[in-house]
Structure 1
Amino acid sequence: MNVFVLCTGRCGSSTFIEACHHITNFTSAHESRSSLLGAERLAYPAQHIEADNRLSWLLGRLDATYGDTAFYVHLQRNHPDTAASFVKRYAGGIIKAYRGSGIIMGLPESTDPMAVALDYCNTVDSNIRAFLKDKTHRMDVHLETARADFQDFCERVGAVVDLPAALREFDTRHNASAR
């Protein structure tokens, strides 16, 4: 079984994967195939857990490739904190693609960065919820309750895990934005 962690980004996906590194019957990675095209982009090995916020823009292809055979995690963090983290990285990454000449074309540079980041969060989370509406193997994980949610996740996917070590990963801020 494959596991896909779908998210906005800036919501604990790196930390979630660090915790997954303590699972012995799955491999796990963060954005491991994000530079690939075509079928190679979604050619994950079996028994693999992948977190990649860009998958939210590839949901049709993810459905065609894995459908209801995979397990899906919708990883979430409260939108104001997520958006604030994106604002700290406003000049690059996916938020730049969203607001630049990519998704929201012609957006004035004077637009409030927090408004843009909140719009991005709402858009991506809506896309993920729509994708997951007919999936039977799924769960929500919230960064704010990640320790308890991760334990539930491990049980649901049958993970062989060093749980104390995995849970300690949630005590460290992995890939945190500069303050």
Structure 2
Amino acid sequence: MRVFVLSTGRCGSTTFAQACKHINNFSSGHETRARLKGFERLNYPDNHIESDNRLSWMLGRLEERFGDDAYYVHLTRDPARVAESYNRRWKKKASIVKAYRNGIHMNPKEPDSIEWIMEFIDTVTKNIEHFISDKSQVMRIRMEDANEQFPKFLEWIGAEGDLDAAVDEWTVRHNLGKKNRLIDTIRHKAKWPYTNRRS
């Protein structure tokens, strides 16, 4: 049994992996095979929980390798909070939002902007939702509700170990970035431009 935690990133994916380290009957990790290629990139052991936001770009390979035999978690967070966090990461060498703008959209001369991040969040979210739409073992967890929903996850997979310590990890802030005031700008926009409605 393998469990894949799919997300945009910046939504508790590191915390999720840390919490799972208190489980005895599963191994767990965060982006443990992200630097590998070919067959080894998805060669996760059995009874393993993997939290890796970059898997959202490998869903075809994930389907081919594991299909409906795996358990899938879609981990989300308030999109404005995700955008706020990513906006502080443009200068990072391995910035995924920069790769999205510069590589996928071929717009390296475009200025860093929140609009690119919002489009990135919407694209990844829709990719994941489409992928899990036909899966039989799916759980959706919001970072903001993890204290309530994570214990249900533990029960869902039949986790054993120090489950109280696992739940307590959600009170610790992992992989924390600096705060800024951008959240107010995002939250008070007239309308979030990317939604799940059909156009």
Q: What TM-score range do you get, normalising by the shorter chain?
A: over 0.9
C-alpha contact (below 8 Å) 1:25/1:47 kept by paired residues: yes
Structure 2 residue aligned with 1:33: 33
CA distance in 2, matches of 1:18, 1:31: 12
**Offset, 1:167:** 1.4
| Cα shift readout 1:57-101 (whole Å, capped 9, x = no counterpart) | 00000000000000000000010000110001112321111112x
| Cα shift readout 1:17-59 (whole Å, capped 9, x = no counterpart) | 1110111000000000001111100000000000111100000
Structure 2 residue aligned with 1:99: 101
Which entry has the higher C-alpha Rg, 1 or 2?
2
Q: Does 1:23 align with 2:32?
A: no
User: What is the TM-score normalised by the length of structure 2?
Assistant: 0.86
Alignment-mate amino acid for residue 100 of structure 2: Y
C-alpha contact (below 8 Å) 1:27/1:48 kept by paired residues: yes
Structure 2 residue aligned with 1:160: 160
C-alpha contact (below 8 Å) 1:7/1:53 kept by paired residues: yes
Unaligned runs of 5+ in 2: 180-199
C-alpha contact (below 8 Å) 1:154/1:161 kept by paired residues: no
CA distance in 1, matches of 2:146, 2:108: 35
CA distance in 2, matches of 1:48, 1:69: 13
Alignment-mate amino acid for residue 69 of structure 1: D
Alignment-mate amino acid for residue 101 of structure 2: R
User: What is the TM-score normalised by the length of structure 1?
Assistant: 0.95
2:86 is paired with a residue whose SS is helix
Structure 1 residue aligned with 2:117: 117
C-alpha contact (below 8 Å) 1:147/1:170 kept by paired residues: yes
Aligned CA-pair RMSD? 1.1
Structure 1 residue aligned with 2:194: none
Alignment-mate amino acid for residue 15 of structure 1: T
